[in-house]
A and B are shown apart, each in its own frame.
Chain A
Amino acid sequence: MWALPLVLLLILGVVVIIFYAERKLSAFMQDRLGPMEAGPYGTLQFAADLLKLLQKEDIVPAAADKMLFKYAPLVIFASVLAGFAVIPLTPDLVPSGTPIGLFFLLAIVSLDVIGLLMAGWGSNNKYALLGAMRSVAQIVSYEIPAGLAILSVVIIGQSLDLQEISFQQGVHLQQFPGYAQEVNYLFGLKELGIDVTHVGGILSWNIVRVPLLSLGFIIYFIASLAECNRAPFDIPEAESELVAGFHVEYSGFRFATLFLAEYAMMLLVSLVAVILFLGSWNTPFPNMGPVRLADWTTGTLGAWSGNLWAFFWLVNKALVLMVVQVWLRWTFPRMRVDQLMHLCWKILTPAALVLVLIAAVWRLLMI
C-alpha cells in the first residue's frame, strides 16, 4: 500500500543526489567548480532550481493541441513510474511481485514513446516534432539490443520474475520458494563441481555466474543509455540542430516533470541493470572460510537487517551505474543519427543475437 510513496521518495531522493552529483562531477571533469553559492558547496542548488521552475509561467502555445500537449508529461512520467512497480527493492519489499515482471517492465516503459510523440506533435512546432521523431526512432531501435540482452538473462535464469532473478544471485538462493534443492556452481558449470551456493558475493552475480553476460551487460548498458536519451545518445536534444528536442515548448512544472522522468528513467535502467546482471540486492562480498563477509553484509532474510542491507546494496549499485552514465556523458561527444543507427543495428543487435544463442547453449551446460 505504501509502495508508491516509497518508490516516489526513492526516485526523488536519488534524483536529488544524482542531479547534484552530475553538476559537480561534470564541473570537476572540466576543471570547473560547479555550483558553489546556494548552501555549502552548492548543495541547495537543486532546491533553488526547483523553486525557479515552479514559479515560471506555465506556457501552452496558442496553436498547440492542448490536450496532447498538457497530458504528454503525465504519460511520460507515468510510464516510467509504472516500470518501478515490479522492481524488487529488498527481498521482502517489491511493489508488485508478479511472475512476468520483466515482461511488464519492458512493455510499460515502451509507452514512454507515445508520450514523446504526444509532446512533439502537440507542441505544433516542427523542431519539437523532429525531436520527438528522432527520440522515438532511437528508443524503438535500442529496445531490440536491450531486449535481446535481457532475453539472454531470462534464458540463464529461466524466469521473468525480477525477485526470482534476484534470489538466484546470492546466498539466499535456497530460501526462495521451490528453490530448496537449487545449487549455484562456479560459472554456472556443474562440470567444474565447485559449489558456491553458500559463498555468494560477487561469485553468484550473473556476470560471473555466466561470464558471457558481462558482454550482455555492456550491450544492455549502452542500449539503456540510448533508451533514456542520455549522452552520447542524446540526439533528441541536439541543440545545434533541434533547439531542445521534443520538450522545446515546455516550461515551468511541465518541463520539471519531463526532466524528472528522464532522471527516473536513468534510475530505472540502472536498477534493471543491477538486478539482471550485478547481483541485484545481494552483497558483492563472498564468504571466505571463517570470514563470513557475505553473511555479515546480507543480514537475516525477513528481518530489518536483511531489508536494510538489501536496499543499501541495490541503491548504491544503481548510483554507481548512474555515476558511470554521468562520466560517459561528460566524456563522449554526441553521436550523429546515422552513427547511432549503425551502432544499434549493425553492432549491438548482431552481438546480442549471438549472445542469446550462446546463453542458450550455456544454459544447457548448467543443467
Chain B
Amino acid sequence: MENPQEKIGSLQRRGFWRDLQSLWQGLGLTWRHLFQARERRSPLHIADPNYFQQDTGVVTLTYPYESLPVPENGRYRLHNEIDDCIVCDLCAKICPVDCITIESVKATEEIGETSDGTKKRLYAPVFDIDLAKCCYCGLCTTVCPTDCLTMTKVYDFAEVDIKNMIYHFTDLTPEQAEEKKKLWADQQEAIAVAKAEAMKARQQQKGE
C-alpha cells in the first residue's frame, strides 16, 4: 500500500481481477502461438549462428522427410574398413557386449599392407558386427591398431528384421575362405613332408 508501484503491479493484485487477468494472459499466449504456427523452425545445424535465434514457430521435425544435420564427428554406426584390418581380434576382446565376431585364417604368405604400412598376414572369413547389440561405447575404435574400425555419422539404420542388424564386413566368399584354408593346410602339409624328408636324410647320413 505504501509503494504505489506495488499497487499497479499486476502480480501484487489479489483476488478476482487478478485471476481474470491471468486467465486472459493465458488465452493471449496460446492465441499468439496459434498464429506463430504459420512459421516453422528450419532444421539448422547447431553451429549455425541463427540456431538460437529461432524462438517462434512450429518446432516439429517431419522426420523421414527432413532431419537435423549431424556434426561431422558424430559417432553413431560402426564401420570396419576391411582392407585395413589385420584381424588382430583386439576389438572383439575388448567389446563389453560381445557384438563383434571374428574368425581368422592364416595366409600362406604376406597378403598386403594396410594404409599405415602394417603387414597383413591373416584372412578374415568372418567379421560380423551385431549393431543391435552394440552399445556405442567406442572402445573397439580406440584399441584398433590400424584405425580401420571407426564410428561414422550415420544414425538412421533401423531395420524391420533384426537379423539385418548384423553387418558382415568380410571380403571373402565362403568358397574363397575354404580355398585359403586349404592353401594353408596344404602349405603346412608340404612343410611337414619336407621336414620329415630332411630329417630322414640327416639320419641316413648319420647312419652311413
Q: Is A30 an interface residue (CB 8 A)?
A: yes
The CA-CA distance from A108 to B53 in the complex, in Å, is 55
Q: B33 — which chain A residues lie within 8 A by C-beta?
A: 28-31
**Does B60 contact A327, Cβ atoms closer than 8 Å?**
no
The CA-CA distance from A25 to B37 in the complex, in Å, is 9
Min CB distance B197 to A, Å, is 77
**Does A32 contact B29, Cβ atoms closer than 8 Å?**
no
**Does A28 contact B34, Cβ atoms closer than 8 Å?**
yes
**Does A33 contact B30, Cβ atoms closer than 8 Å?**
no
Assuming the A-B contacts A25-B34, A36-B62, A332-B23, are A31 and B57 also in contact, with contact meaning beta carbons closer than 8 angstroms in the complex?
Answer: yes
List the A residue with the shortest CB-CB distance to B16: A347
Q: Is B155 an interface residue (CB 8 A)?
A: no
Q: Is A330 an interface residue (CB 8 A)?
A: yes
Q: B29 — which chain A residues lie within 8 A by C-beta?
A: 331
Q: Which of B23, B26, B58, B62 contacts A28 (CB under 8 A)?
A: B58
Q: Which of A29, A33, A36 contacts B34 (CB under 8 A)?
A: A29
Q: A328 — which chain B residues lie within 8 A by C-beta?
A: 27
The CA-CA distance from A350 to B23 in the complex, in Å, is 21
Q: Which of B26, B31, B36, B58 contacts A32 (CB under 8 A)?
A: B58
**Does B58 contact A327, Cβ atoms closer than 8 Å?**
no
Q: Is B97 an interface residue (CB 8 A)?
A: no
**Does A332 contact B62, Cβ atoms closer than 8 Å?**
no
Q: B36 — which chain A residues lie within 8 A by C-beta?
A: 31
**Does B27 contact A28, Cβ atoms closer than 8 Å?**
no
- Scan A2-35; emit 1 where CB is below 8 A from any B CB, else 0: 0000000000000000000000010111111100
- Scan B42-63; emit 1 where CB is below 8 A from any A CB, else 0: 0000000000000001111010
Q: A33 — which chain B residues lie within 8 A by C-beta?
A: 58, 60, 62
**Does B30 contact A327, Cβ atoms closer than 8 Å?**
yes
Please count how many residues in chain A sit with their CB below 8 Å of the partner chain's CB atoms: 14
Min CB distance B28 to A, Å, is 9
The CA-CA distance from A25 to B29 in the complex, in Å, is 13
List the B residue with the shortest CB-CB distance to A32: B60
The CA-CA distance from A338 to B26 in the complex, in Å, is 22
List the A residue with the shortest CB-CB distance to B60: A33
List the A residue with the shortest CB-CB distance to B26: A331
Assuming the A-B contacts A28-B37, A29-B33, A30-B33, are A327 and B59 also in contact, with contact meaning beta carbons closer than 8 angstroms in the complex?
Answer: no
The CA-CA distance from A39 to B191 in the complex, in Å, is 73
Q: B58 — which chain A residues lie within 8 A by C-beta?
A: 27-28, 31-33
Q: B31 — which chain A residues lie within 8 A by C-beta?
A: 29, 327
Q: A331 — which chain B residues lie within 8 A by C-beta?
A: 26-27, 29-30
**Does B30 contact A31, Cβ atoms closer than 8 Å?**
no
List the B residue with the shortest CB-CB distance to A347: B16
Q: B37 — which chain A residues lie within 8 A by C-beta?
A: 27-29, 31
Among A312-343, those with CB < 8 Å from B are 327-328, 330-332
List the B residue with the shortest CB-CB distance to A31: B59
Q: B30 — which chain A residues lie within 8 A by C-beta?
A: 29, 327, 330-331
List the B residue with the shortest CB-CB distance to A328: B27
Min CB distance A242 to B, Å, is 25
Q: B34 — which chain A residues lie within 8 A by C-beta?
A: 25, 28-29, 327
22 of the cross-chain contacts (CB-CB < 8 Å) are A27-B58, A27-B60, A28-B33, A29-B30, A29-B33, A30-B33, A31-B57, A31-B59, A31-B60, A32-B59, A33-B58, A33-B60, A36-B62, A327-B27, A327-B31, A327-B34, A328-B27, A330-B30, A331-B26, A331-B27, A331-B29, A332-B23
Q: Which B residues lie at the A interface, using CB under 8 A? A: 23, 26-27, 29-31, 33-34, 36-37, 57-60, 62
